[in-house]
Amino acid sequence: MEDVNQLFDSAFEFAHYPGVQSEASVKEFLDRFPLPVIFYALQTDPDIPGFENTIVTCLERVFKTKYGASQIPHYMPVLQVGLKADSTVVKSLACKTVTCLLENCDVNDVSPVQLIVSNGIYPLLLDYIINSDDDVANAASETIKSLARFPDAMSVIFPAETNDAAHLRNLAARSSSLARVRVLSLIVKLFAISPHVASSVKNSGLLGVLETEMKSTKDTLVILNVLELYYELMEVEHSSEFVPQTSLIQLFCSIISGTSMDHFLKLRAMMISGRLLSKDSIYNNVEEACVKALISAIDGSLESPEMNDTDAQEAALDALGQIGSTTKGANLVLSSSPPAARHVVAYAFDRNAQGKQLAALHALAYIAGETRPKSSRIVDGKAEESLRCLIYDVAAQSTKLTPSGLFLSVLQQSSEMRLACYRTLDALVARPWGLLEILSKEEIINIVTDATVETAKIAMEARYNCCKSIHEAFLSSNFVDDPRRLKTGEKLQEAVRSGPYMSKKYKGARPEVMMAEGF
């Protein structure tokens, strides 16, 4: 018991050392308390409060050092015992230890992959993913991810024999719904490592497992998880080389348009499809079908009694904005017949639309090019004319009569509405007609040049970026030589010079400080 107490005291000191432990201190610690002794103490579980967590934290720090990692190959049987322990904390530690072995291996040592295979560790890691709690399953998944970075591990993770029990496709097939989602998550993690590993994933037929899971279950939570995994998959840089994009977008369209789909699935599918189609590399022949499905959601023609129309419309507006954020996407939503963007523009200036107005304003900013490089904000002629006509038509049918009146009306609303409007004006000012409308209302210039209008940092910066874009467009236009615009130019220049936050001109402003209440 005395030795265990000494181990606990030394481990506690080692685990809570404030700096980085030196290699010499690690060696000294392991000389005093060899790894078999430490693991045996973990198995005996002495009646000392916090013993297990302290020892685990200590060992995690030990194995992250070069010397500590170098000791792991000499104690593989001990590590195997740790992997078979009853304690989830010890199991997680054992997984992390294997990861340290993989990440700190010496090229002159025995291959860590051979060590893992010969000691039967890989099947244990797979079993953890299926049968353990989330912490252990995640640790095992990260370990397999580290293993997959070794070329000689490909035959282990992706066995050539399709009936192999360790094949991830077979593992998913015989698992519970939760475990299958874990396996699918592992597949996505592996796919993201490199094009070489992604190729092995595809050749093993593992990408089809995701689609099969989507089509074969009615469990809403499972489908939501798979949707998220699909999104992670498509975020990978090399995804366009391996993922069947057409069938994927068609799958999302069927969810959006499906009459029996849960409304949460529809909303999520709208958002993810919008983001996927916001990538030029994913642009293909199915984007029009996706846009039509989104328009159906905005029109309220989706046959889903439990669907909240407002939620669906906001999600669809956001998705259209995401699609329109690319040059090709903007051309699509503006040039289709009738233009899909008509709904975006109509709701952007509808004060009675509430949340839909905010979503539409942000969508209009995307379509107009606020997130695109300034050289790419202008799209093709047909799309540009469509954008201009849509905004002027909405203005003509309103009480404001002109786009400038619409812009000013939005700028007189809440801070979050102004922020969305700043983004929209930032993009529209790249068009001569947009600049003309903005300059035609002195009240608009007064708002965008007033450093005291906004109090939130993000809104201050959006106002400033808008002001700067207006000033740049002004300097490049014929208005710069117009004597009647002299004061406008000076006001813009001063606002740009002063920066996004309150300038010295407003130094009278003081932050409000409230003392904390006493107990």
Instruction: Kindly report the CATH number assigned to the domain that includes residue 70.
Output: 1.25.10.10
SS3 category, 175: coil
Q: For residues 193-219, b (16+ Cβ closer than 10 Å) or e, as one string?
A: beeebbbbbbebebbebbebbbeeeee
For 433-490, how does the pLDDT look when each residue is reduced to its tens digit (9 = 90+)?
A: 999 999 988 899 999 898 888 888 899 899 999 999 999 998 888 888 888 888 888 8
Residue 73 lies in a domain: yes
Query: CA-CA distances (angstroms) from residue 356 to 319, 345, 446, 508?
Result: 12, 11, 27, 38
91 in Cβ contact with 127 (< 8 Å): no
> Average pLDDT, stretch 414-421?
91
- Report the Cα–Cα distance between both ends of the chain, in Å, rounded: 44
pLDDT at residue 280 tops 70: no
Instruction: Taking residues 72-91, report their average pLDDT.
Output: 81
Q: Nearest-CA neighbor of 96 among 43, 141, 163?
A: 141
Single residue among 141, 156, 171 that ends a domain in this structure: 156
Please state the pTM of the whole predicted model.
Answer: 0.72
Residue 390 lies in a domain: no
- Determine how many CB atoms are found less than 10 A away from the CB of residue 273: 29
Counted domains in the chain: 2
Q: Answer whether residue 100 is part of any domain.
A: yes
User: Residue 277 in contact with residue 283, Cβ under 8 Å?
Assistant: yes
124/178 Cα distance (integer angstroms) = 18
Residue where one domain finishes, among candidates 156, 171, 201 = 156
Total Cβ atoms within 10 A of residue 399: 8
Omega within 30 of 0 (cis) for the link into 338 = yes
Kindly tell me the sign of the dihedral angle through the C-alpha atoms of 101, 107, 110, 113. Answer: positive
Domain that holds residue 478: 409-504
Strands (E), 27-96: none
102 φ, ψ (degrees, to nearest 5): -70, -40
Answer whether residue 332 is part of any domain: no
Confidence of residue 52 (pLDDT cuts 50, 70, 90): confident
Q: What is the pLDDT of residue 178?
A: 83
Q: How far is CA 418 from CA 75, 379, 412, 427, 434, in A?
A: 63, 25, 7, 14, 17
Among 156, 183, 215, the domain boundary falls at 156
* Alpha carbons 99 and 107: distance in angstroms, whole number: 16
Structure token digits, residue 338? 């009738």
Q: Encode 313-348: b = buried (16+ Cβ within 10 Å), e = exposed.
A: bbbbbbbbbbbbbbbebbbbbbbbeebbbbbbbbbb
Q: Is residue 211 part of a domain?
A: no
Instruction: List helix spans (H) across 16-49.
Output: 23-32, 35-44
**Residue (of 426, 434, 504, 412) closest to 463 by Cα position:** 426
Question: Rounded to a whole number, what is the largest CA-CA distance in the chain?
Answer: 92
Structural domain includes residue 7: yes
The span from the CA of 255 to the CA of 249, in Å, is 10
Reported in sequence order, the residue ranges of 361-432 that DSSP labels E, i.e. its strands, are none
Nearest CA-CA partner of 477 in 508, 447, 438, 503: 438
Summarised one tens digit per residue, pLDDT across range 344-393 is: 998 888 888 778 889 999 999 999 999 888 888 888 889 999 999 999 99
Q: Residue 187: its pLDDT value, please?
A: 92
Token pair recorded at residue 489: 């130019």
